Structure 1
Amino acid sequence: MGSFVGARRLLPFALLSILPVGVLGGNILSTTGFSSCMNNGTVKVEKLDVSYDKNTRVLTFDVAGTSDIVQNVTATLLVSAYGKQVYSKEFNPCDTGMPEMCPVPAASFASKGAQTIPPEFASQIPAIAFSIPDLDGTVKMQLKGAGGEDVACIESTVGNGKTLNIPAVSYAAVGMAAAALLLSGLAGLAAGGHPGATTPSPTFGEVIGWFQGLAMNGMMSVNYPPIYRSFSSNFAFSTGLVPWGQLQTTIDGFRAKTGGNLTSDSYQYLTDNVTLVFGDGAANTTSRMMRRAFDTVLLWARDGTSVTVNGTTANIGDDPSSSNNTSSTDNKINHYVSGIQAYTEQLSIPQANTFMTVLLIWAIICGVIIVFILLFKVILEAWSMFGVIPKSLESWRKRYWWRLAKALTNLVLLLYGTWTLYCIYQFTAGDSWAAKTLAGITLGLFTAVLAFFTWRIYTKAHEYKKLEGDASKLYEDKETWLKYNTFYENYKKGYWWLFVPAIVYMFAKGCVIAGANGHGLVQTSGQLIVEALMLGLLLWSRPFQRRSGVWINIFIQVVRVISVVAILVFVEELGISQTTKTVTGLVLIVVQCVLTAALAILLAVNAIINCVKENPHRRARKAQEKMKLERDLDDLTPLDARNSLLMEPMTQRGADGTMYKGPVVAPPAFGDRKGRYDAVRDHSPAPLGSEFSRPSRFGRADSDDHLVSSAASMGRRDDRSVSRSPDRQPTLPNLGFGRAV
């Protein structure tokens, strides 16, 4: 049992040791923000900064607050890591050189102090705690009165300055998405508009969809371990959330002119005045009232107001360096966030700016696409003026308007799920009437575009079923394929309709997360139902044409279901221990990193295959052309006009004796063997031995007289003989309309 417990304690650190981290700090643990862990206390703590230096074993702290009555207190300092208490110390402020708190006055107070941690306690703090990212630790200070009653309680998170929210992870994900886009584009060019051509998995849409799932997993109103919250924020770019200070300032100005309130919800307020404190999203009215009271008091304390405590002037905002304190005291207001707000504001995007940020980023991407396509059109036009462009590019040049519309439709399809989420969130949490109007218009427009294409595809499929019994023409007709293949190109012919459940799936995810924001259990349960239904549909149908596409998409969906089950552990209502939550978060990160790495490897493999393997679409086109040529040759007869087009030119002699090259043609009924027609000819027998007197297969001379006499005897064959009289001329048959002249 002892070994099992020891292994369980080491598991979080072992898992963390394999993750990429950024070295952002030294051997110091310090607090970040604080929250009250007691209601209606007689002592209200308004500030708490605690830091621990590993090299000196000195624990320093800076505390400030107010007291309703004069009272002697005893302080207890508790330090925990991953749900386990690693340090506990009870002390009397009067015995530690803290005169401001001996006794606690009925006024505002501020106090600083330092304690040296004994070696036996310092050794219990694992060395890895100073290097692992997003350390899940807390410091709690409890104050008790002379009678042992609780008079105050304050709690703060502890970090070491290292985090998984680092630019390198986001850049790697962006590069992976760009590689998937490039490979998908090259596959489309190689196909050359060939009907039925598929893109090898993982496609650009599958990669972006996976990154969007990672981002949306971090938006639910649950008590995430800090490390998982930081990890999920690396993929915010896939949903359109890009940190950009100048853009946020512009959006703030737009909101200010359209009914927005920037007092406590703006970019400047978020970056300059507050410290984010992440909560569990539980609806607690008393807690919210206390948080507003703390914010009001801290607005006063933030200005560095001097107060008098027992006749001594003290400044709550003193520089900690003057008191041998290594903590960073910024006196910012505690800003309590959870759910979608917590996800966006950790990226320095105010929650009221969320939709407008996504809208402007989408507009910028649309502008880039339009400029690129029009520029490519100009290049092709110039190319066609000075040379001959390939046939595939010629088709692209003529259809560029449709290509532009198709590219924008692809973008709408990729972002539809997250767009639904942000629009619904804007309706519930936004404050600008213009932003809400834009959210309604764009959501309706995107839905109408997808509904229109769905109707067109269903109409085409119905027509093809009536004519041919199935909808295979969706894949075989080139015009239909070029217009609508975006929606069903990777599905089998019998499952072309599966794009409709896929759109409904994206819409349902956005509605569940945004509609139930603030209710973690409802969000997670609804999300689990949606993901499980989609997994069941994929397992039942296995709709993708390529086997690799089937298993990759099923594996992605399995990991999505596992991720939502793991997030259930983070739901506060279930009361699961912090250690279990941390271990679950680490396991979840490892699983998602493994799948992401597998997708990256598959992209590299596809790139290598495309470089060394013959293009299958080109090979198929060559095979079809060869089969058509063989069919044409099989159908040829000596009198077939195609003979002159398909045979190789041969050297022939003209009437004037000159030699020339021309196609060999079959002689007409009244022509010579060079194909020259002469209706009036000398029908006298050719001299024996001439080139026109070679024996025929009937044993007779095959002369022009035979052709003339045969034509003259049409319809009058009394016996099997044929008249060979040289004087006989062709006559018209009696057709019953009178006597022939």
Structure 2
Amino acid sequence: MHKLSLALLSILPVGVLGGNILSTSGFSSCMNNATVQVQNLDVSYDRTTRILTFNVAGRSDIVQNVTATLLVSAYGKQVYTREFNPCDTGMAEMCPVPASSFASVGSQTIPEEDASQIPAIAFSIPDLDGLVKMELKGSNGEDVACVQSTVGNGQTLIIPAISYAALGIAAVALLLSGLAGLAAGGHPGASTPSPTFGEVIGWFQGLAMNGMLSVQYPQVYQSFTSNFAFSTGLVPWGQLQTSIDSFRAKTGGNLTNDSYQYLSNNATLVYTDGTTNVTSRMMRRAFHSALLWARDGTSVTVNGTTANIGGGSGSASAPSSAHNSRTNHYVSGIQAYSEQLTIPQANTFLTVLLVWAILCAAIIIFILLIKVILELWSMFGKIPKSMESWRERYWWRLAKALTNLVLFLYGTWTLYCIYQFTNGDSWAAKVLAGVTLGSFTALLAFFTWRIWIKAHSYTRLDGDAGRLYDDKETWLKYNNFYENYKKGYWWLFVPAIVYMFAKGCVIAGANGHGLVQTAGQLIVEALMLGLLLWTRPFQRKSGVWINIFIQVVRVISVVCILTFVEELGINQTTKTVTGLVLVVVQCVLTAVLAVLLAVNALINCIRENPHRRARKAQEKMKLERDLDDLTPLDARNSLLMEPMAQRDRKGRYDAVPPRDQSPAMGSQHSFSRPSRFAREGDGDYLVSSAASMGRRDERSVSRSPDRQPTLPRVGFGSAM
């Protein structure tokens, strides 16, 4: 297992490697009813100087002698144990522990033989899964205190560069999807090459939602998933969170232990496995402040009196009140995911709502700006035909863009709304969650109903629903729901919407029950995979295999998350290796999607537009079909085409005079009634005669000289 872990770590991004300091991150009590309460614990070790610095503060209820045991574990394995008596370390003021508050700040130089036992990889592994525990026992061997803290090296997979890279991939996918739509020019039935923007953003949302389950994640995986929180609308923006706190305070919210200020300044996050963490801002502050204590000697403070112990190069200062004011904040599930980003759990829905509103405003401004540009262009020049259609339909395109935004966020929106109903404290936020979730569901239900009605209407008329793709008006209105599916599987967007809704309901509704969440999500993902394998509904083969591969990875990811479920009792080493496997596999798939986007962009630049080629071929076929269908008496021949040459009685051809001119009296090009016995080759004669219908007059009629006019026979006898 350890060799596999090292192999996996070797392929992680290089930017997370490197460092020389190990330090604790917050602390939590591992004992109830302790007679010695630890109020602060900060320990750090610098391998370049071999100096161990510490800052310990607490309070004792009674005077007592204690013995301390230090336990250090890594990835679930105990790697170091040491027992010592404070009286033997020169800390006389702490021997015995007084019945009052006390604090000790100082540093010691670690011998070379002890420092060499610390493996070098401990300083470079991102999100080191290490734990240090200190147990205090009384003179009779009874437990009087227990405190533990997570050990880290300052390296983490919470890297802004990963978020920026993922955001860049999503932006490129959006740009290529938009260019593909412009290249299609509204051509009915044109699909977008995979991976599309919806597929990319859906993949990122899946990564983020995998980190929201109420299970005991390895720190390396929980940190990795937080890089994709932006895809669900969670953006760590301090000013925005302060505004939301103010809104909650006015609408029934409680900000005591659930606010941005509390998280960023006072809280130590304690996860379900006992590991601790401070929010990113405080973690960096505590990590760098550890460097200021690197000096030999010890300072002990008892009831405000400070004594310096040891012959070091200087004295250490007493702990500040900021260190003593930190409190343990126990988190799990969705709360743990949001609050590691310094977003209070009660602010999650309002954060997503405001981010959605900002995106809507940006879309509206962008489309109206394009409308203004096209209007100015039409005033001073001639705009392309494709853009003319865009200019006339901008209101519908605006509504379509906002509908797409709702469709992309529907699964995570369901999750946050349900979570707001069950964990929110602001009545106004709950009302907004109910109204928006109902509105979005009604909007998608309306479009589903409209498409379903049209499909059934086309099926009654034509035998299938192919006109959803062939009719341009229908295609421009509703293609965002089914454009990449084959004609026989246009309905698959309905299971896709149900899939997103069910996934959000399972994660938010079963929050706090990791086994139920994981099992429910596994069922949902497996059903979706089975549907894709059975139908293979996408028009392009690339879309079929890319979506199936993404769904296979989703199912495998949920199966791996089962190892993190507390009820299954799987050891920590296996959990860590599984987390590393997940990180590597999901990084590889993300890189593959990025490469495919680059390949699609290159192909679109060097090859002819397939939609334009298809339009040309269709126009050519239509022209050939029209010419083949012409008959001598076809109205298109006489009324819609240019005048044709005609043959006179002697078999000579001459041009037909213009239609607006009648032949002059006595002209040799007079028209005669065709004989019933006209030869088959006299088609032109018949066509010419048909062309003259409706414009003949007495001057243009030529009668046979031996033919006399007669009265019509009406059945009452012969004419006199």
Taking structure 2 as the reference length, the TM-score comes to 0.86
Deviations 1:247-294 (A, max 9, x none): 111111111211112222221222122222333599xxxx9xxxxxxx
- Greater Cα offset, 366-375 or 564-573: 564-573
Q: Which residue does 1:405 correspond to in 2?
A: 399
SS in 2 for 1:61: strand
SS in 2 for 1:323: coil
Relative distance call for 1:71 and 1:403 in structure 2 (3 A) is same
Relative distance call for 1:683 and 1:528 in structure 2 (3 A) is closer
Matches within 5 A, 1:56-455: 56-280=49-273, 309=302, 312=305, 322-323=315-316, 330-331=323-324, 332-455=326-449
The answer as to whether partners of 2:55 and 2:103 remain within 8 angstroms in 1 is: yes
Relative distance call for 1:311 and 1:697 in structure 2 (3 A) is closer
Deviations 1:77-121 (A, max 9, x none): 112222222222111100012223211222222223544444444
> What are structure 2's unaligned runs of at least 5 residues?
277-298, 671-677, 694-701
The answer as to whether partners of 2:135 and 2:145 remain within 8 angstroms in 1 is: yes
Q: In 1, Cα distance between the equivalents of 2:715 and 2:595?
A: 85
SS in 2 for 1:569: helix
Of 678, 682, 703 in structure 1, the residue corresponding to residue 666 of structure 2 is: 682
Match status 1:573 vs 2:567: yes
**Structure number, greater radius of gyration:** 1
Relative distance call for 1:214 and 1:726 in structure 2 (3 A) is closer
Relative distance call for 1:470 and 1:112 in structure 2 (3 A) is same
Amino acid at match of 1:214: L
Count of aligned residue pairs for this structure pair: 666
The answer as to whether partners of 1:370 and 1:404 remain within 8 angstroms in 2 is: yes
Relative distance call for 1:26 and 1:497 in structure 2 (3 A) is same
Task: After TM superposition, give the deviation of residue 369 of structure 1 in Å.
Answer: 0.6
Q: Which residue does 2:10 correspond to in 1?
A: 17
Q: In 2, Cα distance between the equivalents of 1:698 and 1:33?
A: 102
Q: In 1, Cα distance between the equivalents of 2:179 and 2:639?
A: 37
Amino acid at match of 1:58: I
Match status 1:631 vs 2:612: no
Task: After TM superposition, give the deviation of residue 200 of structure 1 in Å.
Answer: 0.9
The answer as to whether partners of 2:104 and 2:318 remain within 8 angstroms in 1 is: no
Task: After TM superposition, give the deviation of residue 643 of structure 1 in Å.
Answer: 5.3
Match status 1:489 vs 2:473: no
Deviations 1:132-188 (A, max 9, x none): 221111111111122222221111001111111111101100110001001111111
Amino acid at match of 1:539: L
The answer as to whether partners of 1:135 and 1:158 remain within 8 angstroms in 2 is: yes
Amino acid at match of 2:387: L
SS in 2 for 1:170: helix
Match status 1:554 vs 2:548: yes
Q: In 2, Cα distance between the equivalents of 1:684 and 1:96?
A: 134
The answer as to whether partners of 2:521 and 2:558 remain within 8 angstroms in 1 is: yes
The answer as to whether partners of 2:93 and 2:300 remain within 8 angstroms in 1 is: no
Q: In 2, Cα distance between the equivalents of 1:460 and 1:314?
A: 85
Amino acid at match of 2:151: V
Amino acid at match of 2:224: F
Relative distance call for 1:398 and 1:311 in structure 2 (3 A) is closer
SS in 2 for 1:235: helix
Relative distance call for 1:732 and 1:529 in structure 2 (3 A) is farther
Task: After TM superposition, give the deviation of residue 633 of structure 1 in Å.
Answer: 2.5
Q: Which residue does 2:507 correspond to in 1?
A: 513
- Greater Cα offset, 218-227 or 667-676: 667-676
Relative distance call for 1:307 and 1:735 in structure 2 (3 A) is farther
The answer as to whether partners of 2:70 and 2:135 remain within 8 angstroms in 1 is: yes
Relative distance call for 1:277 and 1:697 in structure 2 (3 A) is closer
Amino acid at match of 1:675: V
The answer as to whether partners of 1:51 and 1:61 remain within 8 angstroms in 2 is: yes
Q: CA RMSD in A?
A: 3.5
Q: In 2, Cα distance between the equivalents of 1:58 and 1:455?
A: 70
Q: Which residue does 1:727 correspond to in 2?
A: 705
Task: After TM superposition, give the deviation of residue 20 of structure 1 in Å.
Answer: 1.6
Task: After TM superposition, give the deviation of residue 46 of structure 1 in Å.
Answer: 1.7
Amino acid at match of 2:627: L
Q: In 2, Cα distance between the equivalents of 1:685 and 1:590?
A: 88
Amino acid at match of 1:534: M
Matches within 5 A, 1:470-481: 470-481=464-475
Deviations 1:533-569 (A, max 9, x none): 1111111111111111111111111111111111111
Q: Which residue does 2:696 correspond to in 1?
A: none
The answer as to whether partners of 1:25 and 1:161 remain within 8 angstroms in 2 is: no
Amino acid at match of 1:673: D
Q: Which residue does 2:290 correspond to in 1?
A: none
The answer as to whether partners of 1:251 and 1:353 remain within 8 angstroms in 2 is: yes
Q: Which residue does 1:610 correspond to in 2?
A: 604
Relative distance call for 1:683 and 1:181 in structure 2 (3 A) is closer
Q: In 2, Cα distance between the equivalents of 1:510 and 1:334?
A: 29
The answer as to whether partners of 2:27 and 2:41 remain within 8 angstroms in 1 is: yes
Taking structure 1 as the reference length, the TM-score comes to 0.83
Amino acid at match of 1:674: A
The answer as to whether partners of 1:133 and 1:163 remain within 8 angstroms in 2 is: yes
The answer as to whether partners of 2:22 and 2:151 remain within 8 angstroms in 1 is: yes
Q: In 2, Cα distance between the equivalents of 1:34 and 1:645?
A: 92
The answer as to whether partners of 1:98 and 1:111 remain within 8 angstroms in 2 is: no
Q: In 2, Cα distance between the equivalents of 1:327 and 1:251?
A: 31
Q: In 2, Cα distance between the equivalents of 1:263 and 1:147?
A: 41
Relative distance call for 1:479 and 1:132 in structure 2 (3 A) is same
Of 665, 669, 673 in structure 1, the residue corresponding to residue 654 of structure 2 is: 673
Amino acid at match of 1:40: N
Q: In 1, Cα distance between the equivalents of 2:57 and 2:608?
A: 73
Relative distance call for 1:734 and 1:281 in structure 2 (3 A) is farther
Q: In 1, Cα distance between the equivalents of 2:654 and 2:271?
A: 97
Relative distance call for 1:371 and 1:312 in structure 2 (3 A) is closer
Q: In 2, Cα distance between the equivalents of 1:684 and 1:122?
A: 121
Task: After TM superposition, give the deviation of residue 329 of structure 1 in Å.
Answer: 7.5
SS in 2 for 1:229: helix
Task: After TM superposition, give the deviation of residue 607 of structure 1 in Å.
Answer: 0.5
The answer as to whether partners of 1:110 and 1:314 remain within 8 angstroms in 2 is: no
Q: In 1, Cα distance between the equivalents of 2:575 and 2:35?
A: 33
Amino acid at match of 1:734: P
Q: In 1, Cα distance between the equivalents of 2:591 and 2:233?
A: 22
Amino acid at match of 2:66: V
Q: In 1, Cα distance between the equivalents of 2:341 and 2:372?
A: 39
- Greater Cα offset, 121-130 or 619-628: 121-130
Deviations 1:408-455 (A, max 9, x none): 110000000000011111111111111110000000000000111111
SS in 2 for 1:388: coil
SS in 2 for 1:44: strand
> What are structure 1's unaligned runs of at least 5 residues?
1-7, 288-305, 649-662, 687-695, 712-723
Deviations 1:466-488 (A, max 9, x none): 22222122111111111111111
Deviations 1:214-248 (A, max 9, x none): 00111111111111111101101100011111111
Q: In 1, Cα distance between the equivalents of 2:516 and 2:417?
A: 20
The answer as to whether partners of 2:132 and 2:149 remain within 8 angstroms in 1 is: yes
SS in 2 for 1:198: coil
Relative distance call for 1:732 and 1:446 in structure 2 (3 A) is farther
The answer as to whether partners of 1:566 and 1:584 remain within 8 angstroms in 2 is: yes
- Greater Cα offset, 562-571 or 402-411: 562-571
Q: Which residue does 1:50 correspond to in 2?
A: 43
Task: After TM superposition, give the deviation of residue 74 of structure 1 in Å.
Answer: 0.9
